[in-house]
Amino acid sequence: MKKYLAGIALIALITGCAEKNTTVVTVGDKDGILNESGEVQVKPVYKKMAKLETVSTNNYKHPHYINLHWLHVDGERYSVVRNIDNKYGIVDDEGNLKLKVIFDSIGQFVNGFAKVEVDGKFGLINENFEVVLKPIYDDVRNAIDNSIVVKNFIKNNRVQYGCLNTNMELIAPLDYDMIFLSNEKRMRVKKDNLWGFMDTSCNLVVKPQYKFVKDFSKGLAKVQKTDGLYTYVNLAGEEIERKTFNEGLDF
């Protein structure tokens, strides 16, 4: 199995190595790859290879054996490869397997982490290609500053949101109805039909107490109190002079 996966990874790298035409050849009951110069690029030791049509990317044509996309980490380029079981992994430019080919999807790296999927559940890998968060959540958002928002579905189509730090520790429990990224390093949160704010380290700045809150603009956010009147809060969560209005525009 390890030899098979390593071979699958190597085939993916062929797409970026040469413009020579290639074809699948069979010896006995095993497949390999032969180029137009008669060189065996992949020995016929694999159970099955299927050559797809030649595709063109940025005016560069290559035989497309396996779907892949590129990852860039610290100036190095890696490729996401897919085997015949439709599972994904990561290899380096020399064909070395960096992440086992066991995932249903692998996303791009954002702020040091990439999302991975197994059986409809999501987790994270770091730039060392280590699984730092097992795929146990129904969704995992990209890391922003020091926080990672996670989501799970529960009964009656309800959703629970929580928040992890970059050490993958749960620092805001999964009992929020919504967590939205706002502006100016703030996140809008909803719990029990009331709204408040967290900062992007998942610290609660304004406990959920408002009927609705708008995004911050120039250090202030419009909020609607439970009596229907409006006021504004600053980044510290303080209402400005506790004034209320029937309506108001954003700053």
Q: Which range has the top average pLDDT, 26-35, 77-86, 96-105, 172-181?
A: 172-181
Give residue for tokens 């939205």: 180
- Check: pTM over 0.75? Answer yes or no: no
Give residue for tokens 């100036």: 75
pLDDT 10s digits, 173-212 = 999 999 998 889 999 999 999 999 999 999 999 999 999 9
Answer yes or no: is pLDDT of 146 > 90.
no
Instruction: Name the percent of the chain lying above pLDDT 90.
Output: 45
Answer yes or no: is pLDDT of 6 > 70.
no
pLDDT 10s digits, 93-112 = 666 788 998 999 998 889 99
Name the CA radius of gyration of the chain, rounded. 25
Mean pLDDT of 142-167: 91
- 13: enclosing H helix or E strand: helix 2-14
Mean pLDDT of 140-159: 89
What domains can you pick out in the chain, each with its CATH number?
Answer: 2-103 (no CATH), 182-251 (2.40.10)
The structure tokens listed for 24 are 């699948």
- The burial of 150, by beta-carbon neighbours within 10 Å (0-12 exposed, 13-18 middle, 19 or more buried), is given as buried
